[in-house]
Structure formats: C-alpha cells, structure tokens
A and B are shown apart, each in its own frame.
Chain A
C-alpha cells in the first residue's frame, strides 16, 4: 500500500533498532513526510529542548507517493528541531534515497538519544543494525558513501550522510544523499552529527504498491502529461535547470547582491544558465555536462557540471576534475551574487565542496556575504580571518572559506556559526540577512513583495520553499500578480503555504506546482491512499500542518515579534531596477495575514482555529 505502515525507531543511546506500526490515525490526518513526521516530533520532544541535546530527535520520513511512478515521487524529508534556528526544521531531498527507504518497508526512521561513538545505520530490508562508523568519522560525504558501498560489496546501496561540517557543529550542515542531493537547510545535518550518527545506508527491494492501482496509473499518467506540456516544467526547467531564473530575477530587480546592499548584480549573466552552457575558451567544453533527474522525475531540472581543469581551484586536484552536481539557482546566487563573485568555475568548486562536506550553500554563501561586508567596513580584519582578504568579489576568499567551513576550521568555523551569530559576535546584528536565524534565499523582498511576508512568517526561518509567491509575482503561475505591491499578498502567501505543506507531505517535489495545481495532485493521492482525498481536504491538511509547526515554534519561545525582516529590507530603499525606491511593506501585509490565518494580533492561533483544525 502507499504507506508502508511501519516505522523504525533507532535509540542511539541504547543501540537498539525496533520496528513499530505506523499510527494510521495520524497518517490519515497528516498524510506523510513533512506533516506526519512533524506530528510525531512535536508529540515526542519538548519544544524547549536544546537542538543539539540527545533529547532532540531526528526523523527521516517518506510520503505515501514516495517510490510510486508518480512524477517526482522520490522525496524524503529530515525533520527535527533545527540547529541553525531552534525552530521546527523540515528539509526535503530528492535523489534516490527516499525510494530505497520506502522499498525497505519504511515510512519513517526516528532517531533518538546519542551514540557513545560514531555509528551508521545499515538497513537491508528487515535487517537493521547500527555499525561502527569510526573509519568514516572525519571523512567527507563522498568518501563515506563510496566507503560504505565498498565495505558491503553492494553498489546499489543508497546512502545519506553528513560530512565533516556536521561532525564539527557547523550550524547549517546538511544531510546529503546520492553524492549531491541534500536535505539542505536549517542545520538538520548538525543535529545528525550531534547524535554521533554519520550515515544511513539502505538497500530495499520490497516494492511499493498503492490502494487503487488502475486509478493511480491513470492519474499519474495524466499528471505527467500536464508537466510535459507546461512551459516551465516541460521546457524551461529541462533546458536550463533552476538557473533559468538568474537573468530573469536580475532583470526583475530582485537579485540580492553583496549582502542585500544591491538588488541587481552586474555579473549575473556570467553565472547564469546560459553561461553554464557556453563552451569555455580553455578546452572548448561547457561547464554543464548534462541534465539529471531525481528518482521518478520527468522534469529533470538537476545539473551535472565540470570545472575547467586549468582553474586554480582544481589544478593538481583530480577529485574535483570529475563531473558532479550543480549549479542550481539558489547555490549560484548565494555563492555568486551574495558575495559579488562572478567566476563560474569558482562557484562550481565551492558548490562541490558544499556537497562534499555537507554544508548548505545558501546559508554559507549568505554568511560569507555578511562577513565580506564587515570586512569592507573594517569590523573584521585579516587578523580575524587568518589572513584571508574577505572582500566582495574575491573568488579566492569564497573557495578558501568553503573548504575551511566544510572542515570546521579557522575562520571557516566562524562562518559556520551562520550570519546571525557571526554578526552578533562582531557587534553588527543588523548585517545578518536572516529571519529566525536562517539566511534568505535568492529573492529580494523589495522587488518581490510577497516574498517578504513569506520569509517573515516561514516556520523554519527565511525560506523560498514554504510559499513560492515568485511563481505568481514573476512567472504568472497560477495567475500574475504585481511583484511591487503588497495588496492581496497576505491571501496569496497563505494559499501557497497551505498548498505547499500538502505537497511536501505527499512525497513529491514542489517544483511540480509550476504546472500542477491541487486539482492535478489530489486524484493521485486519492488513488494511492485509503480514504477520501480532495483539493479541500488537502488544503485543510496543509493548514493543519502549518498551524502545528507554528504552535511548536511558539512553545519553543518564538513570538509574533520573530515574524520580521532585517531593517535593510524595510528601511533602505532599493537603488536600481523596477523596485527602485521601494522597501518591503511587511507591516501592511502581516496584520491581514494573521487575520486570514485565524490568529490573534500577536500571531497566536486562536482557540477557534485550533479546534477547527483538530489540533
């Protein structure tokens, strides 16, 4: 059936692995993945727990569609109390690990406690064991994955692991699977590291079925047709990947540049999708090798790239001369525009290192951007940076810091604090471009107003994957709204947030929603899962998940005051582009948003809302 109906509970303190049945009452109310795992987490941990304490738990979760033939149905999420934010964290990843987990008959793996010494979890269908990971401790994601496959003599094992950054407590460490697919944000890899858990290695061959197979095949096929015929999912993303956005967002005047000092980057075209496809002068080959799909994905937005072998970063370093994952738009922005660096090979190298050692390129690049601003302002000097000239536009500073941060060493370890703690440490908290301690992604909310409200209210801190109003405000999906106005954005953000929470709970990729509405998704879930699943019930599910996350954060100590933006975005007007002269009008959108949500003016869900959603 769509749900495997079984979870694996791993107590790292005791060294035990125990299967238990999935709580089907909860599954029918929270679907799977993000929603269902959040329900489990919030029932099982104290919201005030230190994210790095053994009492915090870490859950890996698939959705009911994970492992089926629905397009993009290979997702899994990592849910925990985030190390970067202290808020609820849910980071979603593609690749092939989620499918393997489902084929091992698992909806979820719940990790609790802390191992005394480094371990990895090995799963071969029903055989689940904690094994000694001391030989992998201190090694990269890449070496760990290859080492585990070799040790078990099975190249078909799928591995999710942390790099050295997650071991060393870099606050924005990721869990990386399949070499370059990551549950990237909020420091879920840092929590994994705090548990002395290096990796999860799975081999699953059980197969996945659904409730009503004929109806499901029909619904899944209809869905794939919609994706293929859509301009974004059928043409733009396959041809250019997410990097299709670099020039578009720059022209929109919403590309945050040099720590959000500017909103247009003069080097954007040099780090764009078009530049990736351009043959290099040195060897005549382009940066982009080819498109790559995650499990079951008929869009294939993933990119595989190589670095020019004569580039300073890789000369005499063969491990980086091979093809690997990237660049995606968010990484190209954070490593490039946010730092003012326009050297495509340097960005690709920094991206490889982020994958190799498991650090979030968004938080990393944005934090480097903040450090560069402090360096230019003379707040920090080469004395603090260990001799590195951390100047805007310095490719060398970027690539040196990526390696140092990935290893948790020197000034790289300070970058690993994230921009909030780093800027506070040097007395410049206002220079951290973050919400709830998490750095902004690649859209400036002066040029795209709805994203300001999206960031301010996101439960996991600033994030573009909680309500991607860029779709409406820039791309006109499902309908065009004006990016420069605040009117109507509260309702837009709420609708996107609820729909996205449902999509994230299903086991599919949010990129499908460039083409799919819930009208396309509901029939697939309805055919796959027991019970009646409609557009309305999915929207209510999304709202329930959103409020559940909100209530966790409130109990953890966050308040409505944390639904904010840095002053730079609400006080300093944009200097160029279509948004010139504008700041973000969060104060106009937030009260309306609270009202639409059924929350008090302080941002607390009212009793009526809580009871309506059955929380």
Chain B
C-alpha cells in the first residue's frame, strides 16, 4: 500500500517537534532551519500550518532537473534527490510551485522531503497527530468520517 503524509493544520500547536525530528534524521543535529517540513505561524489569525513536499505524481522538480538528480522511489512514491548527481543549480526550486524544494548552502545541494525512505520521522514525532502517514488513496478518510458523523442525523440508530 502506497502511503502519504496527511497534514491536519487544525491539530497543530506549532511546537516544531516535526522540524526537530526531520533535521535530526537528515542532518544529525536538532536544527529547524534545515528541516524539510516547516510549520508556519500566522500569528494574527491564530493558525499553525505544517507544510512540506506533496510528492506530486508529475513532479515538476523531477522534470525540470537538467541532470536527472531527482528520481522516483517506486516503493514509497517519494521524489528523492541524489546528492551525487545534484549540481546545486536550483532549477527544481524554481519549478516547484509550492516552494518545498530548497537549497542548502552548507552542502551545495538541494533538499526536499523523501518520506524518510517510507517511515517519516515528522509523523512519528508529532504529539497531536497533526501529521500522520496514511494510505495514499485515502488521505481524506479521517476528514470524510468526521463529516459523515456530522451530516448523519442519527436516524438509523434511533429507528
């Protein structure tokens, strides 16, 4: 079963445990500035929104890469950057409509979410289940179930 990250901003408290986990998995240190998932704080509206790569099927970053450094991991569906091939040209960062591919000036390579090879650390670290790793075909299932409960007036149960 192919899985995908599912983000529910309504549950996010803005604690950045996901950024700590991501940076530790990928950089070996706790460093939110190097995280591939970012939590945005819209202070005036009281909103916290985690955001990361959506792993598009027709990945713009992958198609735009002139040296074929970005490839599909068929097992996870992640579009992964091969550091040995990446020349740091940043064309993928321009191509990505969502800004989720970024340049790491310390290494001269681009970085993006690779789903941690199929076991994303951000989802494991999230204390509120704002980030979960679920069946890619049913990312909306939880939300759907909640709405189903709300729209059903409970007639069956009472009849």
Contacts and interface: CB of A to CB of B under 8 A. Distances in A.
Given A69-B24, A298-B17, A300-B15, A322 B30 contact: no
Contact of A69 (B34, B44, B46, B125): B125
A128 interface: no
B128 A300 contact: yes
Interface residues of A, number: 37
B43 A179 contact: yes
A296 B128 contact: no
Contact of B13 (A96, A99, A179, A291): A291
Interface in B97-135: 125, 127-128
Interface stretch (A200-208, A482-490, A601-609): A200-208
Interface string A212-237: 01000100000010001000000000
Contact of B33 (A103, A289, A292, A302): A103
Given A69-B30, A293-B15, A296-B17, A322 B44 contact: yes
Given A103-B31, A292-B46, A324-B43, A69 B20 contact: yes
B14 interface: yes
A306 B14 CA distance: 18
Contacts of A228: 127
B13 A300 contact: yes
A535 interface: no
Contacts of B127: 224, 228, 298, 300
B122 to A, nearest CB: 12
Contacts of B44: 322-324
B15 A294 contact: yes
Contacts of B13: 290-293, 297, 300, 302
B43 A208 contact: no
B48 interface: yes
Nearest to A303: B46
B88 interface: no
Contacts of B33: 103, 156, 204-205, 207
A209 interface: yes
B142 interface: no
B31 A205 contact: yes
A179 B33 CA distance: 20
B46 A289 contact: yes
B14 A293 contact: yes
Interface residues of B, number: 26
Nearest to B126: A298
A297 B12 CA distance: 12
A398 B34 CA distance: 45
Contacts of A289: 45-46
A290 B44 CA distance: 12
Contact of A296 (B20, B46, B48): B20
B102 to A, nearest CB: 12
Interface string B33-64: 11000000001111110000000000000000
A209 B20 CA distance: 11
A304 interface: yes
Given A296-B15, A296-B17, A297-B15, A323 B45 contact: yes
Contact of A208 (B14, B30, B46): B30
A295 interface: yes
A226 to B, nearest CB: 12
A99 B32 contact: yes
B20 A207 contact: no
Contacts of B31: 103, 205-208
B45 to A, nearest CB: 6
B23 interface: yes
Contacts of B21: 69
B16 A306 contact: no
B27 interface: yes
Q: Which of A68, A204, A293, A322 has the most CB of B within 10 A?
A: A293
A156 B32 CA distance: 11
Q: Which of A103, A292, A305 has the most CB of B within 10 A?
A: A292
Interface in A275-295: 289-295
Q: Which of B27, B43, B45, B47 has the most CB of A within 10 A?
A: B43
A67 interface: yes
Contacts of A103: 31-33
A539 B28 CA distance: 32
A317 to B, nearest CB: 14
Nearest to B27: A207
B118 to A, nearest CB: 20
A67 B43 contact: no
B89 interface: no
Nearest to B106: A205
Interface string A147-161: 000000000100000
Contacts of A295: 15-16
A292 B48 contact: yes
Contacts of A305: 46
B103 to A, nearest CB: 13
Interface in A26-79: 67-69, 71
Contacts of B24: 69, 217
Nearest to A179: B43
Contacts of A179: 43
Contacts of A322: 43-45
Interface of B: 13-17, 20-21, 23-24, 27-34, 43-48, 125, 127-128
Interface of A: 67-69, 71, 96, 99, 103, 156, 179, 204-209, 213, 217, 224, 228, 289-298, 300, 302, 304-306, 322-324
26 contacts: A69-B17, A69-B20, A69-B24, A69-B30, A96-B16, A103-B31, A103-B33, A156-B33, A205-B31, A206-B31, A207-B29, A207-B30, A208-B29, A209-B29, A213-B28, A290-B46, A292-B46, A293-B14, A297-B13, A297-B15, A298-B17, A300-B13, A323-B44, A323-B46, A324-B43, A324-B44
Given A69-B17, A228-B127, A323-B46, 19 more contacts: A68-B20, A68-B30, A69-B30, A69-B125, A103-B32, A207-B23, A207-B29, A207-B31, A207-B33, A208-B30, A289-B45, A290-B47, A290-B48, A291-B13, A293-B13, A296-B20, A297-B15, A298-B127, A300-B15
